[in-house]
Structures are given as C-alpha cells and as structure tokens.
Amino acid sequence: MYAMVFLLTGCQLTRNLPAGEWLVEEQGIAWGQEVDLDGESVLRLVENQRTLGVRLRLRAHELVRPEVLSRRREARAARGKSPDKGLRYWMVETFGEAPVTWDAAMGDRTVRNLEALARRAGYLDAQGAVELDTLRNRRLAVRYVMDLGALWKVGRVEWSMEGTGINPRDVMPQSLVQPGRAFDADVLDAERGRIARVLQSKGYAEFDEAYIAYEADSIGSRGAGEHRIGVKVVIRPVVQSDLARPHERLRLGSIAVQEQDSGLVHPLREAVLDHLIAAEIGALYDREALETTYRRLMRLPAVSRVEMPTTTRLDDAGQRWVDVDVRLWQRKRFGLQTEVDFTRTDVRYGPLLRVSWTDRNVSGRGDQLEWTATAGISSTQPFSYNEAALVPNSGEWSLEANYSILGIPPLGLHRLRPSNAARSELGLAFRREARPDYLRKAFAMRYGFEFVENESRNSLVNIDLFEFNYTDLEAEDAFVEWLDAQGNPFLKSRFQDYASTLTRLAWRSGWREQATWLGGVRSSVEWSGQLWRHLGDALQLPQNEEGAFVMAGVPVAQFVRVEQDVRFGTREDPEAPGQIAARAYLGVAWVGPNLNSLPYDRSFFGGGVNGLRGWATRDVGPGGVVDAEAEGAIRGVGDWRAELNIEYREPLTESFTLAIFADAGNVWMRAAEGVAASATWAGGRWQSVAWNGGLGARWDFGFFLLRLDGGLRLHDPTQPLGARWLGQTKARGAFHIGIGHPF
C-alpha cells in the first residue's frame, strides 16, 4: 500500500504527453463582478479529478506507458484471455483518467457557452475571451475573462389575453415577471410553467404552455441609454379550423377506480378510496387535486403503481366533461424479506440477521401485518472486565409482530384530514439476550400513531401513546460478585428487573427544497413512571422494601429522556469532487427517585461504528474516567451524550467511495451520590471530550452499502492527564465494519 502511494505521488504527470500539448492544471472564470451564475456547468474542458487534493486517477493512468499496455494486451490476447482486463488495463482505462490537455476549439466553445449563459441571465452585452498562463513542466492555467456589461431588467409588463376567456386575476397575482427584476430567460420559462399549472388547477384541463408566448422590446431603451426591456405576456386562445375560441373550463364527469385483481389481493375498501381521492365528481378540473390523490395512494403499503389517465367526453346536452380513470396496481400481498445488520449501539461487532414476513393488505383497509424474527451473535465487552471480548461471546434472538392501519382508530377516517396521512400501529415484541454478565429477557407492547406535519419538508410527527416494557435480568454469579465488590448502590441499580410505562413524542423534518444544504432534524422526548410516582400514594399502589412503587413485583422506571439530532450535507453535484456530510447529536436523561438510575438499555453509549469511531462500542467515557472499575463507573455508559461528526466522501468509481472523517464528543454521568466526579462534565470539562480522525471506504452493491472505517484517537480521555493527546502516548484506534453510511 505504501509503495503504491509513493509511486502515485512520484510519477510525472506530463511524461506521456505528445509534443506541443499542455496539461490543463486549473481553470477559472473571471466574471468581472459578483454574479450567481454556474459557469462550471458549461465548461467544455473539465480538468482531471482530484481525490483529497491529489489527481490519483491521472497519476494511475500515467504510471503505465502506452507501449507497455499495448504489449500486455497483445500477450493476454495470445493466451486466449480478454485484452480488456488485468491490473495495467484497470489502471489506465477503468480507474485511470487520461490527461486533459488544452484544446483551442473547446476553449472557444466554452467562451460562447459562457456568453450564452450570461445573456440568458440578463447580461445581453456579455463578451468573453481566454487567457492562458503557461506553468512549468508543460502545465497550463486557463482563465475565461467575461465582460458582462450592464444587467438588463424588466421594464413595463403588459398582459394580453384577448379572446381566451381567462380572467386576468387568475394568473397575474404572484407573477414571476415583475418590473425591476432581471430579464432572465429561466424566470420566463418558470413563469410559463406557473401559468399553466394555475390554470390547470382552475378547470382549464386542456391548457398547456404552448399557449403562452412573450414579446420583448429593447430597441427604444437602448437608444435612450437605458437597460430595460418591455415584456408582453401573451396568452393565446384556442385555434380550431382557423377560428379562435376561448379556453373552456371543464368539470369532472366520473372517477372510476380500477384495481388489478388476483386471488391473493384484497381490493381497497370504498371508505379508504373516498378518504384518499382528493378530486370530486362535478367539481372543476384540478390538476393539483389529481397529483395529491396520486401521492396519497402511493403511500399505502399495498400499492406499487398508480396511473390516472383522463379523457374528455361530450354528453347528450353538448356539455364537455373530463373523466378520470384511477388505475391501481397492488404489490404482492405476501412478502418475505431478509436483512443483515452490523451497527448496534451497545455491542462491538457481530452480524444480526432479520427476517420479516408481511401481509401488505390484510383486510382492504390499507392495513399491514408484519412478523419479524431476528437472531445474531456479537462481541461484547463484559462489565466485570473478566474477558477481552475479542471473539463473539453474546447471542440474541427476538420475535416481533406489528399491525398498522390507515387512520387513528377509533376515530373514523372522515374525521381526519387526508393530507396528514395518519397511520396507527400496534406492536408486540419479545427479546432474549445472553451476554457474559447476564441473561436478559424483555417483553414490550406499544400503541401509537404518526402523521405528516408538513409534506413539502417530509415532516413527520410520531406519538406513542403507550408503551409497556418488562425486563427480567438474571445476572451471572461472577457479575453479581463484581457488582457487590463495587459497593455502589447507584451502579447496582442499573442492572435489576424493572418495568416502564412510556409515552413518546418524536418529530423529524427535512430542510426546505431551496436550502443550500441537504439534511434534516430529528427530535424526541419520552417519559416513564410519572403517574406512578405522583399518584402512587393517593392510589395506594404497591411498594417494595426500598419504598419504590412496583408493577408485577418489579420497580417502575421513572425518567425523562430527550434526543436531538441535526444532520446536514452538501448536495450531489456531478461537477464537484465530493460531498460533505455532518451530524450534531445531543441526548439527555433525567432520572426520578423511583429507580434512582437510568436503566442500562435506556442509557447512552460512547464509541462505536456510528459514533466516535476511534473507539470500540462502550470503550470511551463516561467523561474522563481512566480506571472505570476503580472509580465505580461503567465504561462507555452515561446519562447524557454530546457528539459532532463530519466526513468528506469522494467517489473513486461508481461503486467505491473513499471517506475522511473526524468525530468528537463523549458520554457523561449526572452528578449524584455514588458517581465519580471524573465521570461528570464538571469533573473534566473540555479535557473529557474525545476526538478522533480517520479514513473509511464504502462499497455500494446496490441493495446495501458495506462500510469499513478506521479511526485514530487524537485526544483520548481514557488516558491519564498528560498522556491524552496523540504523540504523548502510543497511537491507539479502532476498526469498524458497518452497513450503510454512519449518518
């Protein structure tokens, strides 16, 4: 690996260039003023790609001389092998990239393209030229110099709709063509589309953009020394047999639903269709209503495709109507799906196999029943620290059943807004987990619902009205002895049988479509045991010897847990070398007196494949704890967590991506009796923040993405003060295997 890097960085990029050719080292555009124009999109010469600032593809191409590649291909062909394979061919033709050299004709075409781009944006007098700067070693810097001239703006705006039958008040408000704005061809095109959409949503079913034209006049203003263009928006009538007639507003005549039927498919019930179809018989034709109907139907788990062709008909009275055929294709009712995962929050590594059987339309109500079985093995760090945990030492299996239905029973669909796309879900789950320290069995039952809060931002609200959890934990003898040896009741309370009665509110939303960055926000808050604690005395609920209120003989967990996750990144751009993705996360929990500490499975964990990648899961924190056993803490487990992650991803091929990343954060404990000061934020502050950098590789196989990440610890709070920074002690890190991107 190191030899290859040395060769790639040491080869001469211009060695194989023919005489008289120059390598394009860099290109730039000088507009003469600050403008919002994407000139990169029209460049005819695109310089060689850079990977982390280095032209790896070009260097790989230049490592192999053309005559050597030719001989190797001939030799492969003589042996009966394909000449288009082998390491040298891959370096030159597949991964490698031929040098981009200066082409005067292409440079001239780029100048013409830049002039056209500027003129479309309103710089009607734009002129361009090319400046070449020769560098050493036959390299060339290309600069396109643009003299934009004055920005032409829209002057007087007129509207002409004579003979169309269209009310100007239907289209003139909110027009994109306004006096004083730049005379931009893209804005004119967008205005044409806006007018067509507005009229199609007001009954003009047969109207399209072809009926809209513009007349522009710049002669008079140019002569007067002004830079304004008068614009006339012309909407034409319908011309038939050389006769003009007004555009006609049509109404919906019929809405017919056709479903593919087979022995295993239930047709959707009439109440479901009435709830989802936004268009109404007899109403004016409305394009937006049909588009809304399409989106609503496609949200159903059972529906795979929707088509809504329209036809115009003439009735006996001479009235014209628009008939709509809603054609539905359902998915196969029963489905079987398998999935493998490596990214669990509280284990180091190990595969988890998930198999799901689904009935996508149980009764025709848009409902779905899903049975899921999971099984896996993993490597887990024991709490008692009596094993190295380098090999799989834990196993688990679970069985879940989830039933979801359109709406929020017992409310009828007619009481709900269809635009909210509300769905309810009832779930049951049993999980059995065997670890070196304990055997844990858990049962959960949940009922909740979700609805769309803002469709344009893909904003979704989830409310779990009730979630009951019961956990039975059988500790191994060695683990019990270890807990007793700690002499810490707070620590011991994390590992006991408990029950919880959860209520959870969650909200997620993406950025608006026009935002510079991609990403979104996820927020959630959940609470348990509040009613038990506050009403326990009044209702005389049962209590144990410690005074904690119990359910089925075990304490009821009392806590409030809040999580906030913000993710953002650059948009995909074919011209950009790569993408930046980042995440900021904060999770905080407050514990009530009924259980004294947060249950282990509701705690926050440090390190891992999706967190601080310089550490294995549960290998960092809490805070600045150095010797967890001596300080009465559990390594990697805390009551709150803060983390910031950022990575740069650059595709090298269609399926292979290289990433460089950095992570910072940790988990901390809240100050309480039995909690070491070093485990809290106040006990270490910024000295307790973990920081790592690293490199990663991603292979995209289409149906899943395999990820390998190696993280190097730059600041390690698990080491004593004075030995935490890289260079003060030996280098440490971690290697992770995961499925999918970390965020």
The pLDDT score that the predictor gives to residue 224 is 61
Domain boundary among 283, 304, 330: 330
C-beta separation of 468 from 500 below 8 A: yes
The verdict on residue 261 lying in a domain is: yes
The pLDDT score that the predictor gives to residue 242 is 81
List of residues 6+ apart from 109 with CB closer than 8 A: 44
The pLDDT score that the predictor gives to residue 160 is 95
Q: Is the pLDDT of residue 728 over 80?
A: yes
C-beta separation of 356 from 371 below 8 A: yes
Is residue 117 located within the same domain as residue 177? no
Q: Is the pLDDT of residue 378 over 80?
A: yes
Q: Is the pLDDT of residue 3 over 60?
A: no
CA–centroid distance for 231 within its chain: 42
The pLDDT score that the predictor gives to residue 201 is 94
The pLDDT score that the predictor gives to residue 2 is 33
The verdict on residue 529 lying in a domain is: no
Q: What is the CATH number of the domain that holds 169?
A: 3.10.20.310
For the segment 122-127, the average pLDDT, to the nearest whole number, is 93
For the segment 713-724, the average pLDDT, to the nearest whole number, is 93
Is residue 612 located within the same domain as residue 722? yes
Give the pLDDT confidence of 432-477 residue by residue, as tens digits. 999 888 899 999 999 999 999 888 888 999 999 999 999 998 888 8
Is residue 236 located within the same domain as residue 266? no
The pLDDT score that the predictor gives to residue 583 is 96
Q: What is the DSSP string of 463-504?
A: EEEEEEEEEEEEE-HHHHHHHHHHT-HHHHHTSS-EEEEEEE
Is residue 10 located within the same domain as residue 87? yes
Nearest to 250 by CA among 305, 287, 195, 210: 287
Residue 13 and residue 10: Cα distance in Å, rounded?
9
Q: Which of 55-64, 115-124, 381-390, 453-462 has the highest mean predicted lDDT (pLDDT)?
A: 115-124
Report the domain count for the chain: 4
Give the pLDDT confidence of 266-286 residue by residue, as tens digits. 889 999 999 999 999 999 999
The pLDDT score that the predictor gives to residue 287 is 94
The residue ranking higher by pLDDT, 218 or 72, is 72
The pLDDT score that the predictor gives to residue 1 is 32
Band (pLDDT 50/70/90 cuts) for residue 220 is low
Is residue 71 located within the same domain as residue 180? no
- Which region among 225-234, 469-478, 508-517 has the lowest average model confidence (pLDDT)? 508-517
Give the pLDDT confidence of 280-312 residue by residue, as tens digits. 999 999 999 999 999 999 999 999 999 999 999
Q: Is the pLDDT of residue 148 over 80?
A: yes
The verdict on residue 484 lying in a domain is: no
The pLDDT score that the predictor gives to residue 484 is 82
The pLDDT score that the predictor gives to residue 311 is 94
Residue 559 and residue 490: Cα distance in Å, rounded?
15
Is residue 216 located within the same domain as residue 85? no
The pLDDT score that the predictor gives to residue 711 is 95
Q: Is the pLDDT of residue 141 over 70?
A: yes
Percentage of residues in the chain having pLDDT higher than 70: 95
Band (pLDDT 50/70/90 cuts) for residue 574 is low
The pLDDT score that the predictor gives to residue 589 is 94
Nearest to 438 by CA among 646, 600, 655: 600
Q: Is the pLDDT of residue 486 over 90?
A: no
Name the burial class of residue 3, with classes exposed (0-12), middle (13-18) and buried (19+) by CB atoms within 10 angstroms of its CB.
exposed
The verdict on residue 591 lying in a domain is: no
Torsion over CA: 665, 670, 675, 680 (sign): positive
Q: Which long-range contacts (CB under 8 A, 24 or more apart) does 1-7 make?
A: 7/63
Band (pLDDT 50/70/90 cuts) for residue 191 is very high
Is residue 201 located within the same domain as residue 292? no
Is residue 212 located within the same domain as residue 80? no
The pLDDT score that the predictor gives to residue 246 is 94
The pLDDT score that the predictor gives to residue 171 is 94
The residue ranking higher by pLDDT, 645 or 5, is 645
Residue 190 and residue 176: Cα distance in Å, rounded?
8
Q: In the Cβ-directed half-sphere of 142, how many Cα atoms lie within 13 Å? A: 25
Is residue 159 located within the same domain as residue 236? yes
Residue 719 and residue 247: Cα distance in Å, rounded?
79
Is residue 111 located within the same domain as residue 56? yes
Give the pLDDT confidence of 692-718 residue by residue, as tens digits. 999 999 998 877 888 999 999 999 999
The verdict on residue 372 lying in a domain is: no
The verdict on residue 362 lying in a domain is: no
Q: Is the pLDDT of residue 260 over 80?
A: no
The verdict on residue 100 lying in a domain is: yes
Band (pLDDT 50/70/90 cuts) for residue 51 is confident
For the segment 424-431, the average pLDDT, to the nearest whole number, is 97
Band (pLDDT 50/70/90 cuts) for residue 320 is very high
C-beta separation of 418 from 366 below 8 A: no
The pLDDT score that the predictor gives to residue 11 is 59
The pLDDT score that the predictor gives to residue 5 is 37
Is residue 257 located within the same domain as residue 216? no
The pLDDT score that the predictor gives to residue 738 is 85
Domain boundary among 90, 119, 147: 147
Average model confidence (pLDDT) across the chain: 88
Is residue 42 located within the same domain as residue 71? yes
C-beta separation of 568 from 519 below 8 A: yes
The pLDDT score that the predictor gives to residue 622 is 92
Q: Is the pLDDT of residue 504 over 70?
A: yes
The verdict on residue 525 lying in a domain is: no
For the segment 33-49, the average pLDDT, to the nearest whole number, is 87
Q: What is the CATH number of the domain that holds 640?
A: 2.40.160.50
Angle, vertex CA 474, rays to CA 548 and CA 525, nearest 5: 55
Domain boundary among 223, 245, 267: 245
Domain of residue 676 covers 603-743
